[in-house]
Amino acid sequence: MTHYDIILIEDRKQDVAEILDCLKESAKEKSDKYDFHFEHIQGTEECNYEGEEYLFYNESILQTIEQKCAEARDQSKEKIGLLLDVMLTKEDLESNLSSYYPQAELAKQIYFKFYEQMPIYMITSSPVFATQSDVIMGTDLSEQYIAKNALLRYKFKDDIERLFAFYCNFKLTENGPEVDYA
Protein backbone atom coordinates (compact mmCIF):
# COMPACT_ATOMS: atom_id res chain seq x y z
CA MET A 1 0.00 0.00 0.00
CA THR A 2 1.30 3.43 -0.92
CA HIS A 3 1.06 6.13 1.75
CA TYR A 4 0.47 9.76 0.76
CA ASP A 5 0.52 12.81 3.00
CA ILE A 6 -1.34 15.68 1.36
CA ILE A 7 -0.93 19.10 2.94
CA LEU A 8 -3.82 21.51 2.50
CA ILE A 9 -2.93 25.19 2.30
CA GLU A 10 -6.31 26.97 2.54
CA ASP A 11 -7.06 30.29 4.22
CA ARG A 12 -10.87 30.37 4.42
CA LYS A 13 -11.78 28.76 7.74
CA GLN A 14 -15.20 27.52 6.65
CA ASP A 15 -13.76 25.68 3.64
CA VAL A 16 -11.04 23.79 5.52
CA ALA A 17 -13.24 21.28 7.33
CA GLU A 18 -15.46 20.77 4.28
CA ILE A 19 -12.49 20.14 2.00
CA LEU A 20 -10.89 17.70 4.44
CA ASP A 21 -14.18 15.84 4.98
CA CYS A 22 -14.78 15.53 1.24
CA LEU A 23 -11.24 14.30 0.54
CA LYS A 24 -11.26 11.81 3.40
CA GLU A 25 -14.57 10.40 2.21
CA SER A 26 -13.29 10.10 -1.36
CA ALA A 27 -10.03 8.51 -0.17
CA LYS A 28 -11.97 5.65 1.43
CA GLU A 29 -12.75 4.36 -2.06
CA LYS A 30 -9.02 3.98 -2.69
CA SER A 31 -8.09 2.47 0.66
CA ASP A 32 -7.35 -0.97 -0.80
CA LYS A 33 -4.38 0.44 -2.76
CA TYR A 34 -3.57 3.83 -1.24
CA ASP A 35 -3.46 5.34 2.22
CA PHE A 36 -4.15 9.06 1.99
CA HIS A 37 -3.61 11.27 5.01
CA PHE A 38 -4.63 14.93 4.87
CA GLU A 39 -3.25 17.70 7.04
CA HIS A 40 -4.13 21.37 7.06
CA ILE A 41 -1.47 23.95 7.83
CA GLN A 42 -3.14 27.09 9.13
CA GLY A 43 -2.27 30.59 8.15
CA THR A 44 -1.09 32.99 10.83
CA GLU A 45 -2.95 36.22 10.11
CA GLU A 46 -6.53 36.08 11.36
CA CYS A 47 -8.92 38.36 9.51
CA ASN A 48 -12.62 38.82 8.96
CA TYR A 49 -13.07 39.71 5.30
CA GLU A 50 -16.52 40.44 3.87
CA GLY A 51 -18.17 38.49 6.69
CA GLU A 52 -15.96 35.41 6.31
CA GLU A 53 -13.23 34.27 8.69
CA TYR A 54 -9.78 33.74 7.22
CA LEU A 55 -6.36 32.75 8.46
CA PHE A 56 -4.17 34.35 5.81
CA TYR A 57 -0.63 33.20 5.12
CA ASN A 58 2.67 34.98 4.86
CA GLU A 59 6.07 33.86 3.61
CA SER A 60 6.71 31.81 6.77
CA ILE A 61 4.60 29.08 5.12
CA LEU A 62 7.57 28.36 2.84
CA GLN A 63 9.66 27.26 5.84
CA THR A 64 6.80 25.18 7.22
CA ILE A 65 6.42 23.32 3.92
CA GLU A 66 10.18 22.82 3.75
CA GLN A 67 10.09 21.30 7.24
CA LYS A 68 7.26 18.94 6.21
CA CYS A 69 9.30 17.86 3.17
CA ALA A 70 12.31 17.11 5.37
CA GLU A 71 10.13 15.06 7.72
CA ALA A 72 8.75 13.10 4.76
CA ARG A 73 12.26 12.41 3.45
CA ASP A 74 13.19 11.05 6.88
CA GLN A 75 10.33 8.56 6.55
CA SER A 76 11.72 6.95 3.40
CA LYS A 77 8.57 5.53 1.79
CA GLU A 78 6.23 8.39 2.52
CA LYS A 79 5.03 10.54 -0.38
CA ILE A 80 4.05 14.13 0.22
CA GLY A 81 2.04 16.60 -1.85
CA LEU A 82 0.30 19.95 -1.61
CA LEU A 83 -3.28 20.96 -2.26
CA LEU A 84 -2.69 24.67 -2.65
CA ASP A 85 -5.32 27.39 -2.62
CA VAL A 86 -4.51 30.02 -5.24
CA MET A 87 -5.40 33.06 -3.14
CA LEU A 88 -3.72 33.02 0.26
CA THR A 89 -3.56 36.67 1.33
CA LYS A 90 -5.99 39.52 1.80
CA GLU A 91 -4.35 41.27 -1.15
CA ASP A 92 -5.03 38.21 -3.32
CA LEU A 93 -8.72 38.25 -2.42
CA GLU A 94 -8.99 41.95 -3.07
CA SER A 95 -7.30 41.58 -6.45
CA ASN A 96 -9.75 38.82 -7.35
CA LEU A 97 -12.61 41.26 -6.84
CA SER A 98 -10.99 44.20 -8.59
CA SER A 99 -9.20 42.60 -11.53
CA TYR A 100 -9.85 40.06 -14.25
CA TYR A 101 -6.48 38.50 -13.40
CA PRO A 102 -6.20 37.99 -9.66
CA GLN A 103 -2.74 38.08 -8.22
CA ALA A 104 -1.53 35.01 -6.43
CA GLU A 105 1.93 36.06 -5.34
CA LEU A 106 2.37 33.75 -2.36
CA ALA A 107 0.88 30.74 -4.15
CA LYS A 108 3.29 31.41 -7.05
CA GLN A 109 6.23 31.47 -4.66
CA ILE A 110 5.14 28.20 -3.11
CA TYR A 111 4.51 26.56 -6.47
CA PHE A 112 7.82 27.53 -8.05
CA LYS A 113 9.81 26.64 -4.94
CA PHE A 114 8.35 23.13 -4.57
CA TYR A 115 6.92 21.91 -7.90
CA GLU A 116 10.06 19.91 -8.71
CA GLN A 117 10.02 18.24 -5.30
CA MET A 118 6.40 17.14 -4.89
CA PRO A 119 3.02 17.08 -6.61
CA ILE A 120 1.14 20.35 -6.21
CA TYR A 121 -2.51 20.49 -7.14
CA MET A 122 -4.31 23.82 -7.07
CA ILE A 123 -7.70 24.58 -5.55
CA THR A 124 -9.42 27.80 -6.49
CA SER A 125 -12.61 29.81 -6.38
CA SER A 126 -11.38 31.99 -9.25
CA PRO A 127 -13.76 31.57 -12.20
CA VAL A 128 -11.02 32.38 -14.72
CA PHE A 129 -8.34 29.98 -13.46
CA ALA A 130 -9.02 27.31 -16.09
CA THR A 131 -8.30 29.67 -18.97
CA GLN A 132 -5.94 32.12 -17.28
CA SER A 133 -3.75 30.00 -15.01
CA ASP A 134 -0.70 30.90 -17.08
CA VAL A 135 -1.32 34.60 -16.39
CA ILE A 136 -2.33 34.14 -12.73
CA MET A 137 0.37 31.62 -11.78
CA GLY A 138 3.03 32.20 -14.42
CA THR A 139 2.63 28.71 -15.88
CA ASP A 140 -0.19 26.67 -17.41
CA LEU A 141 -1.91 24.74 -14.62
CA SER A 142 -5.20 24.26 -16.44
CA GLU A 143 -4.89 20.47 -16.01
CA GLN A 144 -3.74 20.71 -12.42
CA TYR A 145 -6.54 22.29 -10.42
CA ILE A 146 -9.97 21.75 -8.96
CA ALA A 147 -12.60 24.44 -8.54
CA LYS A 148 -13.86 24.77 -4.96
CA ASN A 149 -17.45 24.49 -6.15
CA ALA A 150 -16.65 21.25 -7.98
CA LEU A 151 -15.25 19.83 -4.76
CA LEU A 152 -17.51 21.30 -2.09
CA ARG A 153 -20.84 22.23 -3.57
CA TYR A 154 -21.33 19.83 -6.47
CA LYS A 155 -18.88 17.07 -5.48
CA PHE A 156 -18.06 16.30 -9.13
CA LYS A 157 -16.73 12.78 -8.99
CA ASP A 158 -14.61 13.09 -12.17
CA ASP A 159 -12.89 16.24 -10.88
CA ILE A 160 -12.19 14.64 -7.52
CA GLU A 161 -10.89 11.47 -9.19
CA ARG A 162 -8.55 13.58 -11.33
CA LEU A 163 -7.17 15.19 -8.17
CA PHE A 164 -6.37 11.80 -6.64
CA ALA A 165 -4.99 10.47 -9.95
CA PHE A 166 -2.63 13.44 -10.10
CA TYR A 167 -1.05 12.50 -6.76
CA CYS A 168 -0.97 8.78 -7.53
CA ASN A 169 0.59 9.20 -10.98
CA PHE A 170 3.06 11.99 -10.24
CA LYS A 171 6.73 11.18 -10.73
CA LEU A 172 9.93 13.10 -10.95
CA THR A 173 12.00 12.41 -14.06
CA GLU A 174 15.24 13.83 -15.42
CA ASN A 175 13.03 16.07 -17.57
CA GLY A 176 11.15 17.36 -14.53
CA PRO A 177 7.81 16.48 -12.97
CA GLU A 178 5.39 14.35 -15.01
CA VAL A 179 1.91 12.99 -14.49
CA ASP A 180 0.68 10.03 -16.51
CA TYR A 181 -3.10 9.81 -16.29
CA ALA A 182 -3.29 6.78 -18.60
pLDDT of amino acid 28:
94
Q: Is residue 147 over pLDDT 70?
A: yes
Q: Is residue 100 over pLDDT 80?
A: no
Describe the strand order of the beta sheet including 120-124 as a list of residue ranges: 34-40, 2-9, 79-85, 120-124, 145-147
Any idea which of 93-97, 149-153, 162-166 has the lowest mean pLDDT? 93-97
pLDDT of amino acid 99:
73
Q: Is residue 46 over pLDDT 90?
A: yes
Q: Is residue 102 over pLDDT 90?
A: no
Residue 51 region by backbone torsions, left for phi larger than 0, else alpha for psi between -120 and 50, else beta: left
Averaged pLDDT, 26-39 = 93
Secondary structure letter of residue 11 according to DSSP: -
CA 148 to chain centre: 11
Q: The whole model's pTM is what?
A: 0.94
Query: Which of 27, 32, 113 is closest to 68 using CA atoms?
Result: 113
Calculate ∠ Cα 85-40-92, nearest 5°: 25
| 22: confidence class by pLDDT, cuts 50, 70, 90 | very high
CA 25 to chain centre: 17
Highest mean pLDDT (candidates 77-81, 83-87, 96-100, 123-127): 83-87
Task: Name, in order, each residue with C-beta under 8 angstroms of 65's C-beta and a sequence gap of 6 or more.
Answer: 7, 9, 41, 82, 110, 113, 114
Averaged pLDDT, 89-111 = 87
pLDDT of amino acid 64:
97
Q: Is residue 60 over pLDDT 70?
A: yes
Provide the residue count of the chain.
182
SS3 143: coil
